[in-house]
Structure 1
C-alpha cells in the first residue's frame, strides 16, 4: 500500500512536530475536520501494513504516536508516495473527459500541454473517450469556433460528470490533480463541505466517507455548469415526488444564497442527495417511499425459504438493508445506479448466495417498478452474507440441489414444488432444461431428474409427478445416501422428549401434532394456501361447462389450439396473442404431451394472461402433434404465477396416468359426463 500525497505530507508533519494539534494541521493544510479524519485513517492503514501502531487522537486534538514509529523513520524509512506524473491510457481518458465537462474552448494543444503526450496519442485517447461515453448517448464534437465540446442531453452529461468525477478522485493524488485542473479553491471546498455537514445534522444522518469525499466537488462542478447555462430543461421527475422529502429542504439550505437556480436543478440536486449512501441514520422510516419496509421484509422471507435459513435479529438486519435501499430506490428508479458504493462483483465464495438473493428481490423490484441492477443486488448479497456469517450460518454447509426436467415449464415447476416440499432441508437452486443443465454456473450437490444425465454429482431419478409411495421411497433413498439415516425413522414423541429438556413448552399437545404432521406429511402438504388464506384451485374450478369444447376433429394443431382457447378469450382470461405464443412454443417445448392422448399447451404469463385459467378441447379423432403423437385431449393452461394452478395440475397429472378415464373422456357424449370424471379427480 502507498500513501497519497496529502497523507504523506501530514505524516511528515507529525513526525517533525508531534505536539501539533488537529486544529493547527487543519489551518496549515486547508483541511476540514472530515478530510483530516479521512487522511489519518489512511495513515493508520499504511502503518498497520508496516506492522506499526496506529496514531491516536485525544479529545483535545493532540496526537499520540508510538515511539516505534519515530524509531522506524529515524532509521531512514521513506514515505512511498504514489507517482502521479505517469498516467495510464484509461487515466488520461478521465482527465480529458473532466476537462471537457468543466472547461470551454479546448483544442488539442490544451490536452497535449496538460498530459505531456503527443497529438496522435491525444487523438487516440479522444477516440477511446468517445467509446466510453457512448452509453450515455453523449458525443465529442469539434468545431473551429468552439473547439472540443460534449453534445447530448444535460441530464446524461450530469450522469457522466458524476461517474467521471468518482473515477477521477480514485486516481493517484486525484483530489489535488482535480483542484488544479478545474481550479477549485480550498476555501470553496471548505464552504461546501461545511454546508453538507450542516445537512447531515439537519437530516440526522452521516454520509459514507466515499460519498463525503466526492460530494463537495460534485456540487461545485454541477453549480458551475448551471451558472454557465448548461441546464436540465426537460426533467422527468415530478416536483411532488421529491418536494416533501427532507433532502429537498436540505437542497434549499445548500443553495440558500443562489437565487437563480431553476426548480429543475434544485430537484436534480435533491435527487443526488437522495441517491447518496449513508452509513448511519437516527431515524429509519419509509418517509416518501410507502411499503418499502414491507417489501424488504417480504424479500427476506423469500430468501429464508429459498436458502433454508432462519435470520436472527431480523429487525437489525432490516434496518441495515433499509439504510442501503432507501438511496438505492432512487438510484434504480431514475437510472443513477453507477454511483453506488460497495463491490461491483461477487466473490466466488458468495456466488450461490448471490443467486438466491437475486431470486428473492421480486418484492423490491415490484415496488420500484423495474428489475434490481446487478451492482445493487451485489451489495445486498454482501450485507446478507455478512449477517449470516455473524450468526454462524452459511449456505456452503447446506445441501444444494437442482431439478432437471425436459418436460416444459409447468411440469418442471410441479416437479420442483414437490421435491422442495419433500426435502425442506435442501436448498433448491433452480429448475433447468437439459440444455441449461450442461451450462449451469453454480455449485450444487444433487440432481433430481426424470431422465438419466451425464454428471459427476449424485443423480436421483424421479418421476415428474410422484405418488405417495414413490415419494416415500425417494426420500428414504436420498437421506440414506446423503446423511446415513432414513427420515421416516424419526419419531415425534422422541423429538418432543429432547425439546422438553431444553425448552419450556406452552402447548405440548399442539406441538406433538405439528411435529407429527411435518414428519408424516403427504401430497396435500405440497399445495399451500395462497396469500390471504386463498385456497388452491382444483381441476373442477377451472374445467367447467363454459370452458369445455367438444369437437369431432381439427384440421391442424394450430387450429385445435385456437378452438380450445376460444372460451378463455371470450371470458377475457387470455388475449389472442397467447394463442400465437402457444403455437410458437411447440418447437421449443415438445414435451407438453404428458399422456398418450393428452397434452397441456401453455406459454408464459407475459404472452397475454389476464387471469389464471384452463380449458379443455375434446377431439374424437386425434390431431397430429408430431409424427409420434396424435392428441385427443388438449388442456390449455394459462398461469399468472407458479402456485395457484399447481393443485389442478397435480390432479391433471393423475388423470394422465389413468388410461380408462382418458378413454371415458374421449368417448363422452356430453359435457356433464366429462365433468363427472373431472370432479372425481378434484375431490381426490
Structure 2
C-alpha cells in the first residue's frame, strides 16, 4: 500500500515525461531526500506490480518507461485502486470523517469511524480535533453527544458547499477530463476514485447515465466543461441529501415555464427524469442550486471598491503600504472580475500549490481570508483554500517587487592573471545568471586580499581554491555544465526566501535582460574567438597567413550574422554539389558549432568548406 505522499509522487511520475529530480521532490514535499528515496522504494514496487519500470539516473532524475497509452491506463488503475491501496494521512482521514458525517442522519461513534478508516479509536479522537478546526471556517458545528456519537449541525447550503470543496480539492485534471468526456464523447470504463465514496458513487452513476442520454452535441457551444462538471456533482449532492430528507429551504415546486433556454431545459430534463425515477419532489431551490442560479447575487458586487478595501485592509494587518504597487490593484481587480464575471460563482477553482502557500505564508493567508470574509461576503466561496491562495499570490508578488530587495550573489572570479578574457566572461556569466554580480576578478595570489576587503559570497575559479567561502571550479571559458553548476550553487545561496530571484535563475525572465551595444559586441567577439580556436585545432591546415586572416574574419562575420539572424541563404546549399570527401569535414564543423550553441544553415558550413579545401 502507498502512503498519501507516495501516491502524489506516483501521480507526478505519470504526469511528467521528463525526469524529476529527487531534491526537487524533497523541497516540494518539505522532507529530506532520504525520506523521498524511501518513498520511491514503495513507488517502484507499485509500478513493478503494473509491469512498468521506474528508471533513475544520477544527475538526471527519475522517470517511468512507458508510452502515452500505457500512461493513460496507469492513471486509470491508480485512480480506481486509490481507496484501497493508500494509507490516509491525518488530513485525508479528517476529510473522510466529514464525508461520512455528511452522508448520514445518525450519530456516528468514534469506534464506528475507527473501523471504517482502519485506525485506532485514539487516532480518531485526535483526528476530530482537526475536523473541528476545518468545520469552524465553514460555520458548521461538530455536535458531540456523550455515549451517542457525533453529527454535523449547520446551514444546508453551507454543508453542500463544504462537500463540494472536499470533492474539488481531491479531483485531478485526469479525473475531471474523464468525468466530463464520458458525457460529451460517450467514453466508458471509468470509475471515479476516492473523491466519491460509495453512497455518492451510486447516485453519481445514475446522474451520469441520465446526462449522457439527454446530452446533445449542440450543448458543447453553450456549456463549458467546468459548468458540466458542476451540474454533474451538484445533481449528485442534491439527490443524496434529498434522500436523507434535507432540502435547501422551501418546498416550492419548480415551474418549467420560467426556464426556456437550451441549457436550462437540459438541466430541467435531467432533474425531471432522475427525481421521477427516485420519487423525489422537483423543487425550485434545488434547481437554482444545481444550475448556479443561487450564485447570481455576485453580479451586483462593486469589485473596484472591494479590491481597494481588501488591499488597504491586508496592508494594515501586514504593516505594509501596498498602495505603492499600482500593479497589485489592477492584477487583483482583473482576477476578481474573472472569477465573478457574468454573476457566476466558480466553486470548482483549484490551486495545486494551495497547501504550500498556506504552510509557508500562514499569517498572510489568514489576513487575506479575513479580508475576503469582510468585503466579499459571498457564502462559502470565500473560505476555500484555493480561492484564498490565488489572492495571496498577488500580494506575494507585490511584496517581492515592491518591498523586498532583489537578492544577488556577489562573486569573485579567479583566473590565471586576473586580466584579459575575465572581463569578457563577466558579461557572459552575468547575462546567463542575472542574480550573479561579479564584484572583482583576480589571480590566484590575490584571492585572500580581495576577500578581506570586499564582500564575497561565492568564488568562481579556474583553479581549486582553499577557503571557507563556497567555490565553483570552471573551465577558462565556462561551459554549459559550468553554468548549470553555478545556477545550482546560486540557488542554494539565495534560498527559498527569494522566489523572484529563483525565477530568474530558471531562465523565465532572461529575455528581459537589456543588452547594450558593448555587451553584444563582446559576446560576438568572444563567441567568434571560441569558434576559431576550436576549428583551427581540428583543421590545422593554414599554409599562408593571408588565408588564415581571411578565415578568421569570415568566422567573426558568420557569428555576427548568426546573432542577428542574417545567415546566408539556403539557395547556396541547394546549388552546390557536395563531394564524398566533403562529408567528413561538414560533420566535424557542424559538431563544433553545435557545441557552441550555433545551429547555422548548411550554406554557412559549405562556405567555410571552401577555406579548408583551399588549404589542402
Q: What is the TM-score of this pair, normalised by structure 1?
A: 0.32
Q: What is the TM-score of this pair, normalised by structure 2?
A: 0.35
Instruction: Considering fraction of residues, name the structure with more helix.
Output: 2
